[in-house]
């Protein structure tokens, strides 16, 4: 046994040495990571944010570590001090302790350095606990700097800020204390076990008096924590879900809430009994206390409420749950901003004609005929220029151009180093030579060439403007790609763009970058980035800088990890430069009575921040777009230099803010049920809405499981004087396909952020997208033409069907693309339009509308004399108007309609001499 102990001593020294080496490497790695983060935050102007986060994490870690290690050490020291001596063990052995336990206790225990072991165990466990709690730094800061919400919950009357900021901290504190108590009990149990204080030889219960007293004290603390936990559970009732009410229901308030008080009282009594048992050392008292608390919890918190709910509440559910359904509706609408949605009637009339189309030309001029994927494929074939350029996404925005207020689609030409030839993917190429993308491609959403390709407002490298905004600085160092680092201002020129057989080179002169010229800095980044070439290369000069966090979303998350980001940042050309706009959200999972809207349990969301990132300089600016949000107001207290008011955003950039699609989608999902504000209607789900089924996917295959997604468009909302940029989505009744309403979010200042639901009459049938698609497929001319194309070596790609509200009517438009079976260049070949009972397919939108309304609004004129001449003249103007419409000449179309109007008015006047 002694030889095994000596061997164990050598192993212990080896283990200590190895642990010291590992700890040293970890400490060096952690220090260099902090140093690099500080250098980077300082380079982007947010050193204050870094120090706030770092100091909070450090203080939280130190406080939790000190408290945890101290408590664990104290528990271990008490156990070591009062554990049995060898003489006591021999006495216990004579009363029945097993021999193996006695040998272990008498031979091994005296050779263990208990004090050092307890200290090391306390330090190790304290480190593990403190490390796990660092992630709560944001929660702690919100708690310390919280602002009131201004509204109270309907049950306890507390400000909702208590639930958003305080309750999460109390729950986290309770969980930490329970974890700490478990560790204290575990280390004490190990010591008592190895010293022989827990063994069958002890009577009663197998515990020595010291072990029984220590255990009783810890168990008393546990029951006291349990009492506090029951107190917190009262507030957690507001997050329940019984299938009818999200939040506290009738059973929760009238049964569970009083019983939680009872359970808290039982836990306090059990705690007092266990502490009293520190003197009596009777195992039956802790056993009875545990049975009382856990048995009472099973009966009073689980079984009895379930029986009450089933046999009393269920038969009278609507009557009893009505007040709580009202709370659920009101607070869910508040949590998602649904209460700000204005509801307006939409008569869904069938009175569209060519004159009303002319009056809504901005809408017709901006009907989106290009879908994202076909356009992305087309951009790739026409404008990637070289294999190492890549269009990663297509964005939708609007610009005031010479052609008017236009909705456009645009994509940034980013550098994709992985697309370089394999033998060209050298370290110098990846990090020094190929550093940036170049320019954007922009095209209007409606126009196409005679070959079916998009008309380009911006194209080529350097960007050439053909109706689009001029761009003076097209280089993109920061974008949606850009995961790796690059080093600029070295003694090797950066590749800028290809020009014929030669290349054009440039040097970065922007504001971003961390200086990396000195030997110490190069060593630091070589260690941190695990790249020895940074230290060895001869291309770095004293002026060189390293660009980090070049992916824009990674960049924003690094600066503000407490914000949630929209999935789709979009590129903006403004004042000759390129910027990325990123919508950011403040969220919470602690809003009472609110139904969760996402898979992570989030039940409160605000688009509180707009982030602007300079694609060349990398500067990041945070603008508060919802100053009423209490969470962003709290963050403004925490980080006073981080946020700016929205009014501080440059005016030209403000013209490009848009309502974010992710938020709109979440709000639309919740509004499907929560537009019903009458509890009995909500309970019965009488008027539940859903998203329309997407008729087809882009490959033309049926996709009945897909849902129609929101889309942006320029249109004139009913009753509004001008066209504006909106995000909209149709709605259909549950289990049906006809349209019941459409939801719109206004994007243009000063009406930005206003939501409107246009509700259709419930006694009128309005075809939904899936029903219109069925009519398209049943059209023999269209289906035959599609079949013919598919048999001629081409592949037909059906675009998304758009619902286009015009005045008080609904128009449906869907593009159709052709692509060679072996090609990757989709061409826009046809436009399908539907209105009322009619469906047509023509080469252009103008021709489709002309064909759609030519027979829908026939002209009639009284026969005879002068009236007959007027009728012929009006008909001639009408025919010329149709020709101008087919040619896309809206100005000529309007002129012909204006010339036709007085002739028709004269016919309507009906002079007697003209009617002889």
Instruction: Give the tokens for residue 645.
Output: 């008011």
Is residue 696, in this structure, part of any structural domain at all? yes
Tell me the whole-structure pTM to 2 decimals: 0.89
What separation in angstroms does the CA of 612 have from each of 18, 607, 844? 48, 14, 37
Say if 323 falls within a structural domain: no
Encoded tokens for 776:
């398209």
Quote the tokens at residue 51. 């120090």
Which tokens sit at 276? 């009293």
Are residues 733 and 804 in contact, defined by beta-carbon separation less than 8 angstroms?
A: no
Q: What is the DSSP string of 328-360?
A: HHHHHHHHTTGGGEEEEE----S---HHHHHHT
- 609 and 557 in a single domain? The answer is yes
CA–CA separation, 776 and 698 (whole Å): 16
Q: Distance between CA atoms of 851 and 245, rounded to whole angstroms? A: 52
- In angstroms, the CA 763 to CA 774 distance is 22
Neighbours of 780 (CB within 10 A): 7
Q: What's the residue count for the chain?
A: 916
Which letter does DSSP use for residue 699 in this model?
T
**In terms of domains, do 795 and 834 share one?**
yes
| H/E segment holding residue 427 | helix 427-428
Which pLDDT value is given to residue 573? 97
For 319, the token pair is 């009557």
- Closest to 34 in 3D by CA, of 5, 61, 3: 61
Q: Return the H-helix or E-strand segment holding 534.
A: helix 533-536
- In a domain, residue 177? The reply is yes
d(CA 680, CA 662): 30
Nearest to 417 by CA among 408, 407, 427, 409: 427
Is residue 513 within 8 Å of residue 546, measured between CB atoms? yes
Q: Last residue of some domain: 822, 850, 878?
A: 850
Tell me the three state secondary structure of residue 719: coil
Rg (CA), the chain: 36
Same domain, 297 and 391: no
| Residue 370 and residue 357 in one domain | no
78 within 8 A of 190, measured Cβ to Cβ: no
pLDDT value at residue 858? 40
d(CA 81, CA 78) in angstroms, rounded, equals 5
In-domain check, residue 855: no
Shortest CA distance to 468 belongs to which of 369, 576, 391, 372? 576
Closest CA to 666 of 604, 732, 746, 757: 604
In the numeric block, which tokens belong to residue 440? 């954007």
Structural domain total, the chain: 5
Nearest Cα to 112, choosing from 12, 235, 217?
12
**Alpha-carbon span 326 to 315, nearest angstrom:** 19
Q: Note the Cα 401 to chain centre separation in Å.
A: 32
103 alpha carbon, distance to own chain's centre: 61
In this structure, the answer to whether residues 629 and 723 fall within a common structural domain is no
Token look-up 């929101």 returns 710
Indicate whether 745 and 616 sit together in one domain.
no
Degrees, nearest 5: CA angle 89-93-94: 120
Residue 441 makes CB contacts below 8 A (sequence gap 6+) with 379, 383, 391, 410, 411, 413, 456, 458, 459
Same domain (yes/no): 238, 307: yes
Q: Is residue 35 part of a domain?
A: no
User: Which residues does residue 441 pair with via DSSP β-bridges, in sequence order?
Assistant: 411
275-283 long-range contacts, CB within 8 A, separation 24+: 275/216, 275/217, 275/220, 277/212, 277/213, 277/216, 278/213, 278/216, 278/217, 278/220, 279/213, 281/207, 281/209, 281/212, 281/213, 281/216, 282/204, 283/204, 283/205, 283/207, 283/212
40 burial type by CB count under 10 A (0-12 exposed, 13-18 middle, 19+ buried):
buried
pLDDT of residue 907: 67
CA distances from 104 to 11, 98, 198, 387, 466 (A): 19, 10, 13, 72, 89
Do 886 and 833 belong to one domain? Answer: no
Same domain, yes or no: 272 and 179:
yes
Q: Are residues 252 and 346 in the same domain?
A: no
905 plus 826 within the same structural domain: no
Q: Are strands 502-506 and 689-690 parallel, antiparallel or unpaired?
A: unpaired
Sheet holding 486-488, edge to edge: 486-488, 545-547, 514-515
Task: Outline where 281-316 has alpha helix (H).
Answer: 284-298, 304-308
Question: What's the average pLDDT block by block, 10 residues per block, for the chain (916 residues)?
Answer: 54 70 81 95 97 98 98 95 64 50 54 84 96 96 97 97 98 98 96 83 73 94 97 97 96 97 97 93 90 95 96 96 98 96 94 89 94 94 93 97 94 93 93 96 94 95 94 97 91 92 92 96 96 96 96 98 97 97 98 91 97 97 98 98 97 96 97 96 95 66 70 94 96 93 96 96 90 90 89 86 94 94 88 93 93 60 48 72 68 69 66 41
The CA–CA distances, whole Å, from 105 to 78, 116, 207, 435, 507 equal: 18, 18, 15, 67, 74
SS (H, E, C) 409-425: EEEEEEECHHHCCHHHC
- Cα distances (Å, whole numbers) of residue 844 to 348, 594, 812, 833, 850: 26, 48, 14, 10, 10
**Residue 108 within a domain:** yes
Cα separation, 333 vs 246, in Å, equals 13
Q: Which residues lie closer than 8 Å to 590 by C-beta, 6 or more apart?
A: 163, 164, 167, 168, 239, 603, 604
What is the domain range of residue 459?
366-427+434-474
In a domain, 386, yes or no: yes
Residues 726 and 772 in one domain: yes
The token pair that represents 830 in the structure block: 């046809």
Enter the DSSP assignment of 723.
Answer: -
Q: CA of 434: how far to CAs of 424, 462, 489, 496, 502, in Å? A: 11, 16, 13, 8, 15
Q: Assess if residue 858 is contained within a domain.
A: no
- Concatenated DSSP letters for 571-633? EEEETTEEEEEEEEEEEES--TTPPP-STT---EEEEEEEEEEETTT--EEEEES-TT-HHHH
List the Cα angle 501/502/503 in 5-degree steps. Answer: 135
DSSP letters for 443-508: EESS-B-TTSPBPPSEETTTTEESSS---S--EESSBSS--S-EEESSSSPEEEEEETTEEEEE--
Q: Cα 497 vs. chain centroid, distance in angstroms?
A: 35
């Amino acid at each position: 046994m002694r030889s095994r102990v000596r061997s164990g001593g050598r192993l212990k020294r080896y283990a200590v040495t190895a642990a010291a080496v590992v700890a040293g490497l970890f400490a060096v790695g952690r220090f260099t990571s902090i140093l690099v983060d500080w250098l980077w935050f300082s380079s982007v102007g947010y050193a204050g944010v870094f120090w706030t986060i770092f100091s909070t994490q450090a203080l939280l870690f130190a406080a939790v570590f000190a408290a945890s290690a101290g408590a664990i050490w104290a528990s271990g020291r008490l156990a070591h001090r009062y554990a049995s001596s060898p003489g006591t063990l021999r006495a216990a052995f004579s009363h029945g302790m097993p021999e193996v336990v006695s040998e272990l206790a008498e031979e091994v225990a005296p050779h263990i350095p208990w004090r050092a072991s307890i200290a090391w165990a306390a330090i190790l466990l304290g480190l593990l606990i403190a490390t796990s709690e660092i992630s709560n730094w944001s929660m702690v800061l919100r708690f310390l700097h919280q602002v009131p919400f201004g509204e109270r919950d309907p049950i306890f009357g507390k400000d909702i800020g208590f639930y958003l900021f305080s309750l999460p901290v109390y729950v986290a504190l309770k969980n930490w204390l329970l974890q700490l108590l478990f560790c204290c009990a575990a280390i004490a149990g190990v010591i008592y076990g190895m010293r022989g204080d827990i063994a069958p030889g002890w009577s009663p219960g197998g515990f020595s008096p010291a072990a029984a007293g220590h255990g009783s004290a810890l168990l008393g603390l546990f029951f006291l924590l349990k009492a506090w936990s029951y107190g917190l559970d009262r507030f957690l009732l507001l997050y329940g879900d019984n299938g009818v009410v999200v939040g506290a229901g009738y059973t929760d308030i009238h049964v569970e809430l009083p019983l939680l008080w009872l359970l808290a009282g039982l836990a306090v009594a059990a705690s007092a009994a266990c502490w009293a048992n520190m003197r009596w050392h009777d195992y039956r008292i802790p056993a009875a206390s545990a049975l009382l608390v856990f048995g009472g919890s099973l009966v009073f918190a689980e079984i009895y409420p379930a029986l009450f709910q089933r046999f009393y509440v269920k038969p009278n559910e609507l009557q009893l749950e009505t007040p709580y359904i009202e709370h659920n509706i009101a607070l869910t609408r508040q949590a998602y901003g649904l209460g700000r949605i204005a509801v307006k009637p939409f008569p869904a009339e069938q009175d569209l004609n060519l004159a009303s189309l002319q009056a809504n030309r901005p809408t017709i001029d901006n009907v989106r005929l290009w879908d994202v994927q076909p356009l992305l494929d087309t951009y790739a074939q026409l404008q990637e220029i070289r294999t190492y350029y890549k269009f990663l996404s297509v964005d939708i925005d609007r610009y005031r151009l010479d052609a008017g207020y236009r909705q456009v689609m645009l994509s940034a030409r980013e550098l994709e180093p992985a697309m370089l030839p394999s033998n060209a993917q050298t370290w110098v190429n990846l990090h020094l030579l190929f550093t940036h993308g170049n320019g954007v491609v922009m095209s209007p959403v409606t126009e196409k060439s005679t070959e079916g390709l998009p008309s380009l407002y911006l194209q080529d490298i350097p960007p050439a403007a053909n109706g689009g905004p001029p761009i003076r600085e097209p280089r993109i160092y920061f974008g949606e790609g850009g995961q790796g680092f690059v080093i600029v201002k070295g003694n090797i020129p950066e590749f800028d763009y290809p020009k014929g057989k030669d290349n054009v080179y440039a040097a970065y002169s922007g504001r971003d970058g961390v200086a990396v010229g000195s030997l110490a800095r190069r060593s630091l980044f070589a260690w941190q980035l695990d790249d020895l070439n940074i230290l060895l290369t001869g291309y770095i000069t004293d002026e060189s800088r390293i660009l980090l966090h070049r992916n824009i979303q990674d960049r924003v998350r690094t600066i503000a990890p407490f914000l949630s980001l929209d999935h789709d940042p979009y590129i903006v050309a403004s004042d000759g430069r390129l910027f990325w706009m990123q919508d950011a959200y403040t969220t919470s999972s602690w809003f009472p009575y609110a139904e969760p809207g996402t898979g992570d349990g989030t039940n409160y969301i605000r688009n509180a921040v707009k982030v602007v990132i300079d694609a060349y300089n990398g500067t990041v600016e945070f603008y508060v777009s919802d100053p009423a949000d209490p969470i962003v107001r709290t963050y403004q207290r925490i980080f006073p230099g981080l946020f700016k008011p929205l009014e501080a955003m440059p005016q030209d950039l403000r013209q490009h803010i848009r309502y974010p699609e992710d938020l709109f989608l979440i709000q639309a999902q919740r509004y499907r049920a929560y537009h019903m504000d009458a509890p009995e209607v909500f309970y019965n789900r009488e008027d539940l809405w859903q998203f329309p089924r997407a008729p087809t996917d882009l490959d033309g295959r049926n996709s009945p499981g897909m849902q129609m997604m929101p889309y942006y468009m320029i249109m004139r909302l009913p009753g509004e004087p001008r066209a504006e940029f909106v995000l909209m989505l149709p709605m259909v009744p549950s289990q049906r396909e006809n349209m019941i309403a459409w939801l719109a979010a206004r994007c243009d200042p000063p009406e930005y952020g206003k939501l409107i639901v246009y509700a259709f009459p419930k006694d009128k049938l309005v075809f939904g997208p899936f029903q219109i698609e069925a009519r398209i497929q049943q059209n023999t001319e269209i289906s035959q033409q599609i079949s013919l194309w598919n048999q001629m070596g081409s592949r037909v790609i059906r675009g998304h069907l758009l619902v286009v509200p015009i005045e008080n009517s609904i128009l449906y438009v869907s593009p159709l693309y052709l692509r060679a079976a072996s090609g990757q260049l989709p061409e826009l070949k046809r436009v399908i339009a539907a209105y009322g009972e009619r469906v047509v397919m023509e080469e252009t939108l103008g021709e489709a509308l002309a064909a759609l309304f030519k027979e829908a609004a026939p002209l009639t004129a009284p026969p005879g004399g002068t009236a007959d001449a007027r009728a012929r003249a009006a008909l001639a103007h009408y025919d010329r108007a149709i020709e101008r419409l087919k040619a896309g000449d809206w100005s000529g179309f309007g002129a012909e309609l204006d010339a036709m109007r007085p002739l028709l008015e004269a016919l309507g006047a009906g002079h007697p001499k003209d009617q002889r």
